[in-house]
Each structure stands twice: as structure tokens, then as C-alpha cells.
Amino acid sequence: MSQQRPRGSRPSMPMPNTGTMGAVVAVVALVLGFLILRDVRNDGGSTVTPGGGAGQTTDTTVPADPNNTTATTPAPFNRGSFKIQVANSSGIAGSAGKLTTDLQAVNFVVQPALNVAPGTPKRAKTGVFYLAGCEQGAADVVAVLGGNVDTGAMPSPVPLETGSLGEACVLILLGQDLSNKPLPGVTGTPNGGAATTTTAPPAG
């Protein structure tokens, strides 16, 4: 009768240490949580420009256009900044007074009308003369008078019956061309407040 050989015992596999596995899982979870949190912060934060430091936001300012051709409207000339003297040089009675009233209706400051000095020749064409510093005011007057007038520096002596300009720095010697006529450089009713002035070259 054969004797049965005892079976050899199978070596048992070592069981992992549960404490070590828990530590590994905790470390992995911690690393994943850090990575997820960093991604969330980057998605919700400011846009970072390439090569810029942390927290530097993208500049969204639109640069100025050097070729900007937008027209700017110049401020209207202040007609109350100087005074005008109208003198009748046409020989037509009452014409200087009418021109004075018409100019006042379009916001000029005009002294009472005068006549030219005795012996002054009559003028067929109106003239506008100015003192130094009143060139712009004279140009505005020329525009209101239609532009087709003589212009120049103030004559000396002043050809007025009083011999003085008073406070005026612009003198209009009214000729026969504009006597008792509406202002050619103004459109609309002179007293309506809606009159506009045509453009004329500066006095010179």
C-alpha cells in the first residue's frame, strides 16, 4: 500500500498594508484637488497677456486714429466783443441809420450812425476799415455785407463828422451799392433771430 505524500502548502500572498494604501490615496486626491483648483482659478481670472506677469490684464484701449478726418465745428465768433461805427458816405439820407439797425439785428454792437466829414467824396462802393486787433471782427462784417466791399486799415485822420471813432474799432463807410438794401450776406429775416451769414475771405 503506497503512502500518500503530503501536499505542500501553497505560499500565501502578503496582504497589503491598509495604512500605506490610505496614505497613497490621500496624496493622490490632494494632488488632483490642487490641479483642479488651479484650473478653475485660471479660467475665472483676468486674461494674461503673453510675456506679462501674473495678474496683468489685457489692454483693450483703442489707439487714436492718426488719420481721423472728423470735422470739428469752430466756435462762433463773438460779435459783442467789438464795436462798429457806420458813416453815411453815399449821400442817401437815412441809409446809415438803416444799416446800423440791420447790423444790430444780427447781434453786432453798433454805435449811432454818423455822416462823413464835410468835403469827403461820396463812395460808390462801401468800405470796411479796422484798427489793429480787430481784423477778425472786420472779416465778419465783410461777410455780412456780402464780401464785395473795399477793406483796409483805418485811415488817419478818420473821415467822420465828429473826427472820432469813439469806442469803435471797425468803420463802415456806406456807399451807394448797399444803401437802403438788405444785408446781402445774411439769409432770413434780419429781426427773426434765425439769420445765417455766408463765408467771406478775411479782411486784409
What is the distance between the alpha carbons of residues 175 and 135, in angstroms, rounded to a whole number? 21
Which residues lie below 8 Å from residue 181, measured CB to CB, with a gap of 6+?
A: none
Collapsing DSSP to helix, strand or coil, 5 comes out as coil
Q: What is the pLDDT of residues 147-204, one digit of tens each?
A: 999 999 999 999 999 999 999 999 999 999 999 999 998 875 444 444 444 444 444 3
CB 96 within 8 A of CB 113: yes
What is the distance between the alpha carbons of residues 183 and 105, in angstroms, rounded to a whole number? 11
Q: What is the pLDDT of residues 44-96, one digit of tens each?
A: 554 445 555 555 555 556 555 556 555 555 556 799 999 999 999 999 999 99
Residue boundaries of the structural domains of the chain: 79-197
- Global pTM value: 0.58
Write down the CATH number for the domain with range 79-197.
3.30.70.2390
Question: For the chain, give me the number of helices (H) and strands (E)?
Answer: 3, 8
- Residue 12, C-alpha cell as written in the block: 500565501
